[in-house]
Structure 1
Amino acid sequence: MKRTTLRAGAGIVAASLALGLAGCGLGTGAAGDASTELSDEPVTLRMYWWGGDARHQRTQEVIDLFEEEYPNITVEPEFADWSGYWEKLATATAGKNSPDVVQMDLLYLAEYAGRGSLVELGDYDIDTSGMEDSVRDMGAWDDGLYAVPISTSSMTVAVNTDLLDEIGVPLPDTDGWTYDEYEAWAQQVTQAAPAGVYGGSIMQNGHMLNLFARQHGDQLFDGTQVSIDPATLEAYFQEALDWTKSGAAAPASVFAETSSLALDQLPISTGKVVSSFIYATQVSAYSQASGANIELVELPTIPDGVETYDYFKPGMYWSISSQSEHPAEAAALIDFFLNDPEAVKILGTERGLPALSSTLDIIADDLTPEEVKAVEYSESELPRLGDAPAPLPSGSSDQDALLLRYMQEVLFERTTPADAAEGYIADLQSSIDAAN
């Protein structure tokens, strides 16, 4: 195996995380004094991840294979749902009882790495040679690699073509279509659809906001500063307000009722909207939930905007706790999940498209038609890829919760898009400043 190298280059959960890590004690912990070589003695590792039953089953199968190859290493699995995961991890970290290997997310990477809670991985045997530099480097913090991407995905517009056919409105040419063209089409669909069914959806997460900003030649963060131009953010909120008022998207009351539902209860899953902004790798889940054919089309853009605005966002990462007494063995476990051919086959695309592009050939013959759509969409985005952004700053993990709050204020017209933009930037910057 090759050693990893790195080019230089909100809520209740957030509060719980900040309080937990503030008291966990900074520094490298047990891992700082541990060997980088594998031990021949019995070793027990704890591995922690979030997800559903399908993920738990596949992960356990790979753990069983790993234990066969490394008979002196026992892996104890732990898992939770998304919200419970972060509360439990914060508590364990603060109590000096963190699992050895943890599934990490971009929202929390800087917060854990910045407080000395993760191992810098450069000295350990994790082969990332089949990973694009821009993807791998999104696991970096302060010029060190603290998280290895597991999977990647791109944002897309999902279209329920079965429902669209029933309504009788054709899908226009989406090659290079604009936000105005998307709104006009979605409005036409709403007008032709049964009452309570809408043509479009609004953009509502931080990743989509950053892509919108990048189309404008802007960006959400610059180091620890919220750098987005208030005018760009105002345009983002204004777009959403215009769509709900024109009927292209559901009104504010429906948005408020549905924005935080589980995936299988979201409007795109229940046949209440024809199109929605999703991650391409979620197409299988939405197809299954809706029982319909879901096609993936390009994101709308702005006229004369930046063409290379997109990037492959890691869906999640593997990291090693700095409290681990066995970081070398933990690294071997991560490497096994990333590179072992049988492990790759078992995991498939459940966590998203493999971050190691070299492993796609291993699973190519076993991909479902929906997974093929995700792969093909990602390949179609290559001409639009630009430089990946730096990791999110510590304290930015509540950006989505803040965005949702201000979005509702705008849609209910309790505040203007301009005031919402100023408020969002100020609140997010305050959160970042408090964490740094």
Structure 2
Amino acid sequence: MKRIRRTAAGTVASTVAVAVTLTLAACGVAQPQASTELADEPVTLRVTWWGGDTRHARTQEVFDLFEEEHPNITIEPEFSDWSGYWEKLATATAGGNAPDVIQMDQVYLASYASRGSLVDLSTMPQLDTSGLEPSVLEMGKWKDALYAMPVSTTSTGLLVNTDLVEEIGVSLPDTSTWSWDQFEAWAQQFSEKSPDGTYGTSVIYNEFSLQLFARQQGDQLFSEDDIVIEPETLADYFQLALDWTKDGAAPSASITAETLTLPLDQGFFATGKTAAIFTPSTMITAYSAAMGGAELELVPLPTPDEDTTKYDYYKPGMYWSVSAKSEHPAEAALLVDFMVNDAEAAKIIGTERGIPANAATLEALGDDLTPEERKAADFAEQRASHLGEAPAIVPNGASDIETILSRYLQDVMFERQTPEDAANALIAEVRSSTNAAN
């Protein structure tokens, strides 16, 4: 892309949940309100998470194993899909009735932590954090306190349908050093040689990809309390989408808008209408299942400097947190430790929640990994030499960043705003929200 400055160096969050979250308890760093020592008497823990049937079944199997080892602890599961999860959790938390153990996401972590709703897990002796890479553990922190234990990690890469690439006959450039210009040229050529309605790529529009793009430019998306990305960097990101939709490398603005919320198995990539998409590496398993075993490969993102800058990082796929209102924080921390660090639990969970954050439990999976899971794990290992310092998590007040980003991106693609105007407007909107929250 011509406008990128050279340097030396897909799920939308619920805005309803954000609004409810803002009604949580007053700010303050929370400490456990009950004993940090394990109890001898019977204990009941409520545990909540989002996900599908496979996740529910595997999680319950882990609970059964945990209860066998700790017969005085009974676990009451509470789960839902993503769309209703955050509103339900925010309402329960505001009412002082949050579950003991909470599956947490990065976009909401600072919001809950800043309101004293979560326990600082570094104060809990039952939880061992030594198995996690320091930069991964860092992304469970807010203001230097550990409010969330990373469960899994993922990298973002370009997922390529190599069957389709071979069928059309437009080979990829050298993906180990390719530039954004080279990628765009390849995607445009692929679209031109494909049947009508088939494209080289799709527009990227999530916080993870924007974070990586900014880091490639020596920039960053957030500080601990605010949005800090330079308007020029954000404008360049928007320009990518505009260029791709106008030159045919990706579907038009109208087609992109129509397909933005389609289920995974109905999207352009899963239906063989797009050759390559930008996605968390762990999504290779879901796409492979949806595509009937099509040959898929993960390759690095294009960069402006032949992939020499250490811009990459392992993003926690999700976390486990403990409610500050829990009457049994010690047992809750013990359960979190079991789910993250126990080898047998890891074998049950597999990679359903992503690549295990604990390298030892990943190794314990061994031959149990499917070919797609092995590709995701190998891709993460290949990116290890390109990792930089962990970025700041989404700050309090910016939990709806992906909703806002998608809105301005569509404005740019439909040419209702220029990339520069959209960049300035997005930064102003998010900054207003973070200022109000902090």
TM tier relative to shorter chain? over 0.9
Separation (CA, whole Å) in 2 of partners of 1:415 and 1:21: 30
Of 323, 337, 340, which aligns to 2:339? 337
1:65 paired to 2:65? yes
Q: Deviations over 1:326-375 (max 9, x none)?
A: 00000011111112221110001110000011211100211111011001
Equivalent position to 1:326, from 325, 328, 338: 328
Q: How many Å separate the matches in 2 of 1:312 and 1:268?
A: 24
Q: Which residue of 2 aligns with 1:38?
A: 38
Q: CA deviation at 1:412?
A: 0.7
- Give the total of aligned pairs: 426
Give the match's secondary structure for 2:317: strand
Question: How far has the Cα of 1:390 moved from its partner?
Answer: 2.0
2:314 to 312, 326, 330: 312
8 Å CA contact 1:126–1:334 kept in 2: the answer is yes
SS at match of 2:151: strand
- Tell me whether 1:202 sits opposite 2:176 in the alignment: no
Distance 1:232 1:11 in 2: 22
- Written as runs of structure 1 = structure 2, the 5 A alignment for 1:8-407 is 13-24=14-25, 32-124=32-124, 125-291=126-292, 292-303=294-305, 307-407=309-409
Q: What code does the residue aligned with 1:339 have?
A: N
3-state SS of the aligned residue for 1:76?
strand
Contact 2:154–2:354 (CA under 8 A) maintained in structure 1: yes
Q: Is the 8 A contact 1:217 1:305 kept in 2?
A: no
Q: Give the unaligned 5+ runs of structure 2.
A: 1-10
CA–CA separation in structure 2 for the residues paired with 1:145 and 1:55: 25
| 1:263–1:269 CA contact under 8 A, matched in 2 | yes
| Distance (whole Å) between structure 2 residues aligned to residue 11 and residue 311 of structure 1 | 21
Write out per-residue CA displacement over residues 395-421 of structure 1, whole angstroms, 9 at most, x where no aligned residue: 111111111000100101111111010
TM-score (norm 1): 0.95
1:431 to partner: Cα distance: 1.5
Q: Distance in 2 between matches of 1:109 and 1:259?
A: 26
C-alpha distance in structure 1 between counterparts of 2:138 and 2:435, whole Å: 24
- Report how far residue 235 of structure 1 moved: 0.7
**Whole-angstrom CA distance in 2 between matches of 1:307 and 1:26:** 38
Give 3-state SS (helix, strand or coil) of 2:391's partner. Answer: coil
Cα distance in structure 1, aligned partners of 2:13 and 2:216: 32
| Bigger shift: residues 10-19 or 129-138 | 10-19
SS at match of 2:63: helix
The DSSP-based 3-state class of the residue aligned with 1:174 is coil
3-state DSSP class of the match of 1:32?
Answer: coil
CA apart distance, 1:18:
3.9
Gaps of 5+ in 1: 1-9
Name the residue aligned to 1:6: none
**TM-score, normalising length: structure 2:** 0.94
2: CA distance between counterparts of 1:268 and 1:11? 19
Contact 1:214 1:306 in 2 (8 A): no
Q: Which amino acid aligns with 2:58?
A: R
Matched residue type, 1:105:
D
CA apart distance, 1:226 = 1.4
Residue 4 (structure 2) aligns with = none
In the alignment, residue 86 of structure 1 is paired with which amino acid?
A: W
Query: What is the CA-CA distance between 1:202 and the residue it aligns to?
Result: 1.8
Cα RMSD of the aligned pairs, angstroms, is 1.7
Partners of 1:127 and 1:270 in 2: CA distance: 43
Structure 2 residue identity aligned to 1:271: G
Could you list the per-position Cα deviations for residues 203-246 of structure 1 after superposition, in whole angstroms to 9, with x for gaps in the alignment?
21111111111100001112322111111111111111111111
Does 32-41 or 304-313 show the bigger shift? 304-313
Preserved contact between residue 222 and residue 393 of structure 2 (Cα < 8 Å):
no
The amino acid of 1:46's aligned partner reads R
Higher helix share: 1
Aligned sequence identity (%): 58
Note the alpha carbon deviations across 1:245-277, whole angstroms, 9 max, x for none.
111111101110112222222211111100000
Contact 2:24-2:90 within 8 A present in 1 as well: no
Q: In the TM superposition, what is the alpha-carbon distance from 1:435 to its structure 2 partner?
A: 1.4
Q: Does the CA contact (< 8 Å) of 2:29 and 2:114 recur in 1?
A: no
For residues 89 and 309 of structure 1, the distance between their equivalents in structure 2, rounded to whole angstroms, comes to: 34
Please tell me the residue identity of whatever aligns with 2:422: A
Q: Distance in 1 between matches of 2:27 and 2:240?
A: 43
